[in-house]
Structure 1
Amino acid sequence: MTPQDTAKPVRTGEELNQATLQTYFDEQQTGIGPIVEIAQFPGGYSNLTYLLRTETGEYVLRRPPFGAKDIKGGHDMGREFRVLSLLQSAGYGRAPKPVVFCEDEAVMGCPFYVMERVPGIILRAQTAPKMGLSSDTLRHLSERLVDELATLHALDIGPTDPARPALIQLGKPEGYIRRQVDGWHKRYLASQTDELPAMTELARWLDQTMPTENPPTLLHNDFKYDNVVLAPDLSDIRVVLDWEMCTVGDPLMDVGTALSYWAEADDDPFRKSFNLTWLPGNLTRQQFANRYAERSGRDVSNLLYYYVFGLFKNAVVIQQIYARFKKGLTTDERFAGLLAGVQALSRHGVEAVEKGRL
């Protein structure tokens, strides 16, 4: 079995200056030895990710996409590096170890950071069904995902003193649910292209049935199969990736987001394209919820609200992409049919509310 993400030759126009990088690493005494090769991970639509092979090991370099300098609040390399650093200081051993952050744009034209690479297997919805994974393996891995999320939520977020390196510095937990619901509704209205009654109904329901917030914890905010690196024998999780949306707030918001990706065997094809959780052996959404309650000790009786919010948020993200296509800001024909995805997710959200179950 081989890793699912293989570095490829760097795309034309996205090359890095190897000599300049080496000089910077040497001057900063990073311990990164002479660079032997630079390759690029081809996936993703946001930040650019490179593999640095050196005489001392393998490292991953992250930088914003070219032309993203003027995007306010986006592609914050410094914050990503800070999150990884705080996770290390909190004793969480399944985050990549940060090596160096460079904010001097004279080096590469943008801020960037480097972290250690952890090799392993990444399972993706497009490739996992072809790998012949046994139901026992998927049962074990789906249980490990739940357990790891509970472990994240058990981390001590520490005091509110900003002078101390505590995880609580990563967010403002009070009023988190209200800000999220209002913010994603505003994003939907700003990108709306069609009248979709289900989206309007979900926005109203989320506003009117908002629960009292649970005590805050660290939130990953994008926890799913393809954001974890597994051991080559698929026995365990080696590292959790993609911390750019990490913050602090109600932990059930994190669970709801994870469940919104968690397709089951009888779900529609669009939802099954999100994840590999519909393959035989995986926990169902309700089994996920039950195991999380057992591992975390939290009351999940109102988890339906958080699950529906996750569906609404995903629908808005898809709507934003579709709106860019409809306005002619992108000509990628893959985006032409995305409105059906918004309809599918919002319709499922309404059905979940009506049936009262995940």
Structure 2
Amino acid sequence: MATNHLLEIKQFGQSIWMDNLTRDLVKSGELKDMVTNQGICGITSNPAIFEKAIAGNVIYDADIEAGVRQGLPTYKIYESLVFDDIRNACDILRPVYDSSDGLDGYVSIEVPPTIAHDTEATIKEARRYYQEIGRDNVMIKIPGTSAGLPAVEQVISEGINVNVTLLFSVDSYVESAWAYIRGLEKRAAEGKDISKISSVASFFLSRIDSNIDGKIDAKLKGIDDANLAAKLTAVKGKVAIANAKIAYQEYKKITQSDRWKALSAKGANVQRLLWASTSTKDPSYSDVMYVDELVGPDTVNTLPPSTIEACADHCDVDNRVETGVEEAYQLIESLKDPDINIDIDKVMDELLVDGIDKFVKPFESLMQSLEEKVNKLSPV
């Protein structure tokens, strides 16, 4: 029997979660098989994933029709479908949650992306989602925006598990880590248990390389200087992994801080870095490069089904998250070279705006397609 390399990754302290959730996966037993036999120990979802899962899929029609009969508005019908899928996935992953003492076994669901810049609305929806789904192993996704981070702090203080999403820059990751810490400190100051709260910081990868590679390709057009071309080409496909390795160094600094050690002594769980956006967009790159290069302790990698399949087949597993760290710092610094001249902070800002848009558009599209289906199924 061929080796499933996904199972090797766990030995290095990294958990593999799947970036996909559909009712078909749940109902067919495929998800349970992946959890039981293939080393999958968590699920992440987002509005784009649910749009693909629900739009045009007849498996949801009976429940949509039931919602129409109850006179529910379209948004509530959407929630009923999604919450049901999340609950069922949580139940399948509950044995993982129990056996790992709450380290793994989580299913993530995002608050509506349309409220990414509204702190109070995010807090309100995170509370409601957590209560209505009613599973200890649900994790509420909140974007790491300037409005999202105060919401992270507040809901962590209330005992709600949080997946801080859409993190691109190292600074934004560090801010999310301190938001988590402040939330725990607030809860601990109230004399409440902090040992049952979990959080991950979703640090995005492939979108960074896609953005920067596009800028490099534009600069390469019309260049005759071989040395300059080589200097530019050397950056391609390297920035996301370098950025992630630097973020991991920041994670280590944070967990060595006195503030963290005080919380750890009270039973707090570390906020693990989660590598997201891990499917390779450029076919000339290895389809598992965002897995192979970032295996290491206290991390999570969330993979779409195609990358899960590829990694099970041919990942080259080793602890590499702390290899080439000096080179990572040098690579990021090299972007300031006048010959390269890429403003990484500007790139990260662009990616955050674009990232929210990539969730808002499918969310609105799904609402529209559901509305059309509701109208068709509604009695005249």
**TM-score calculated relative to the size of structure 2:** 0.29
Higher helix share: 2
